[in-house]
Amino acid sequence: MTESSYRIQGATGEWEVVIGLEVHAQVTSNAKLFSGAATAFGAEPNTQVSLVDAAMPGMLPVPNMECIRQAVRTGMAIDAEINRWSRFDRKNYFYADLPQGYQISQLYHPLVGEGAIEISPDDKNPDATKTIGVERIHVEQDAGKLMHDQHPTRSYVDLNRSGVALMEIVSRPDMRSPAEAGAYLRKLRAILRYVGSCDGNMEEGSMRADVNVSVRKPGDDLGTRTETKNVNSVRFVMAAIEYEAKRQVELIEDGGRVVQETRLFNVESGTTRSMRSKEDAHDYRYFPDPDLLPLELDEAFLAACRASLPELPDAKRKRYEALGISAYQADVLTAEVEAARWFDALLEAGAKPVAAANWTTSELFGALNRGGHDIAQSPVSPAQAAELLALVADGTLSGSLAKQVFEVMLETGDAPAKIVEDRGLKQTSDTGAIEAVIAEVIAKNPNQLAQYRGGKETLFGFFVGQTMKAMGGKANPAVVNDLLKKALS
């Protein structure tokens, strides 16, 4: 465990920030939570709306068990208690994007109870972890969307999202700095993507956070919190916390009082502003949805959920570390599920773990970055990469030759052995040939030879360079070193 030393320096001393996050994650499913309508992102307005989603008279919700399954798997992935008996409640309020006049959610008896997520706030030191409590995960319907830019005097409603399944993942107020909140979100996102219960795509709105922030003098009781709604990137969440904490400290130190309220984050200015205070809060008149029976899960369902869980980021990181991979590289390799799957495939194709980790985190990630590619679009497959690494391991290629071959692989997609063959890039350890070249190099550089023998040993590198250059980079560097030492002494 690490304790955050993050503090706001106020006029009256240091302040501690207390943060809790409520993350809304869209459940990966072809159909909505209570209807069979599709859920694809970016469809034409009102093309993914069933009679149920539009709340036509007499329409009834029927739970989509795939959405329930995904939420249960998510709960299991954070070691949470799964409630075999849960219930749906109606949250009643009027708005044009809410056709039923209520959202079906779970207030009193959520599907998933207490769990925890381990975070590493400092990416330079991934072993310094902190545990963030998760209070609950419940499932609920998303609302539709109002469009105000379609007509000069009217607003339009798009119900495509109406009824889409969301998981609301509620953390404990256990975070103490923007960095911890960022680490929590990244870790949660990674877990969701490993599990496959949410694509974690914050730009498309499939994951967004309500940010609860309060400040206090270290050791004091919790202060009054504000809730900044619907923040849709890790960076914005961190910026919102930073702004909001400073605002609260200044407010209190100026003799004001923080009011419990809902706030909005402005992406352009990086500031938050008040949306509505607790006094204007809706009375949602929650009550159990009488259209739905309590959700009761049997052991077979839970066992199938458990059996379907993949290896999760923490377990994978520890496994990599046990293979001799550095903690930092293991953390980098496991942060994104696609990269981790790619790396696993590389290991399965026979690559040696440490060399594979070095090569993947430097050469591959570097090349992908330069090309602007996701790992999913990598022009080089794990099998091809394993072949390349095998050529290095057996001495066929030197490090620098391997780089050249990799460049060609990226361009042509050809197999490394073919590239080596076609372009004659094979490294040579032929001592006769190397000795002949060395003799030539020495003969051409009598001055340097004299200086070297006179004690200027740094000139050894000069002779290595000249020899390698004369051999077109294909000489085995270790052999060159050995032979040069003999020739120069």
Partner 1 sequence: MADLTDLGVAAIRDGVRSGAFSAVEVADAFIVKVAKAKPLNAFLVETPDAALAAARAADTARAAGETLKPLAGVPIGMKDLFCTKGVATTAASHILEGFVPTYESTVSQNLWDAGAGMLGKLNMDQFAMGSSNETSAFGNVISPWRRPGSDAPLAPGGSSGGSSSAVAAGLCPGATGTDTGGSIRQPAAFTGISGIKPTYGRCSRWGTIAFASSLDQAGPMARDVRDCAILLEAMAGFDAKDATSLRQDVPRWEAGLSGSLAGKRVGVPKEYRVDGMPEEIEALWQAGIDWLRDAGAEIVDVSLPHTKYALPAYYIIAPAEASSNLARYDGVRYGLRELPEGAGLQDMYAATRAAGFGPEVKRRIMIGTYVLSAGFYDAYYTQAQKVRTLIARDFERAWESCDVLLTPTAPSAAFALGEKSADPIAMYLNDVFTVPSSLAGLPAMSVPGGLDKQGLPLGLQIIGKPLDEQGVLNAGLAIEQRAGFTARPQTWW
Residues that bind partner 1 (CB under 8 A): 51, 54-63, 90, 92, 94-96, 99-102, 155, 157, 283, 285-287, 290-293
Which residue matches tokens 């790619």?
A: 342
Q: Least separation, in Å, of the C-beta of 210 and partner 1?
A: 20
Q: Which is nearer to partner 1, 97 or 114 (CB)?
A: 97
Question: Distance between CA 75 and CA 79 in Å, rounded?
Answer: 6
Please report how close the Cβ of residue 35 comes to partner 1 at its closest, in angstroms: 10
Q: Token pair 């207490």 is at which residue?
A: 114
Q: How far is the CB of 85 from partner 1 (least distance, A)?
A: 16
Q: Is 480:467 a contact under the CB 8 Å cutoff?
A: yes
**Cβ-based nearer residue to partner 1, 142 or 174:** 142
Task: Tell me how far apart the alpha carbons of residues 395 and 15 are, in angstroms, rounded to a whole number.
Answer: 59
Q: At what angle do helices 399-412 and 416-423 cross, to 10 degrees?
A: 110
Rounded to whole angstroms, how far apart are CA atoms 463 and 469? Answer: 10
Shortest approach of partner 1 to residue 11 CB, angstroms? 39
Q: State which residue, 100 or 476, has the beta carbon closest to partner 1.
A: 100
DSSP 324: T
Which DSSP symbol is given to 81?
Answer: P
Handedness of CA 342, 344, 346, 348 (dihedral sign): negative
Burial class, 37, CB count within 10 angstroms (exposed 0-12 / middle 13-18 / buried 19+): buried
The pairing of strands 226-231 and 261-266 is: parallel
Closer of 44 and 394 to partner 1 (Cβ) = 44
In whole angstroms, what is the distance from residue 438 CA to residue 455 CA?
A: 20
How buried is 340 (Cβ within 10 angstroms: 0-12 exposed, 13-18 middle, 19+ buried)? Answer: buried
Looking at beta carbons only, is 16 or 53 nearer to partner 1? 53
Q: How far is the CB of 279 from partner 1 (least distance, A)?
A: 13
Q: How far is the CB of 155 from partner 1 (least distance, A)?
A: 8
Q: Which of 81, 75, 187 is nearest to 131 (CA)?
A: 187
Give the CA distances from residue 480 to residues 299, 399, 464, in Å, rounded to whole numbers and listed in that order. 67, 15, 7
When the beta carbons of 90 and 189 are compared against partner 1, the nearer one is: 90
- Please, what is the minimum distance in Å from the beta carbon of residue 143 to partner 1? 13
Give min distance, CB of 214 to partner 1, in A. 23
Nearer Cβ to partner 1 (149/283): 283
Closest distance of CB 267 from partner 1, Å: 25
Minimum Å gap between C-beta 57 and partner 1 is 5
The crossing angle, in degrees rounded to 10, of helices 477-488 and 431-444 is: 50
Q: Where are the alpha helices (DSSP H) in 271-398?
A: 299-307, 313-322, 327-334, 337-348, 353-359, 365-371, 382-393
Q: Own/partner pairs for 42-51, CB < 8 Å, 24+ apart?
A: 42/204, 43/160, 45/147, 45/156, 45/158, 45/160, 46/157, 46/158, 46/159, 46/160, 47/160, 48/160, 49/159, 49/160, 49/162, 50/163
Which C-beta is closer to partner 1: that of 96 or that of 478? 96
Residue 99 or 416 having the CB closest to partner 1:
99
Strands annotated E in 180-305: 207-216, 226-231, 261-266, 271-277, 287-288, 295-296
Of 293 and 478, which has the nearer Cβ to partner 1?
293
- Least distance to partner 1, CB of residue 101, Å: 2
By beta-carbon proximity to partner 1, the closer residue of 292 and 302 is 292
Place of tokens 């030539």: 440
When the beta carbons of 286 and 460 are compared against partner 1, the nearer one is 286
The burial class, CB within 10 Å (0-12 / 13-18 / 19+), for 411 is exposed
Least distance from C-beta 95 to partner 1, angstroms?
A: 8
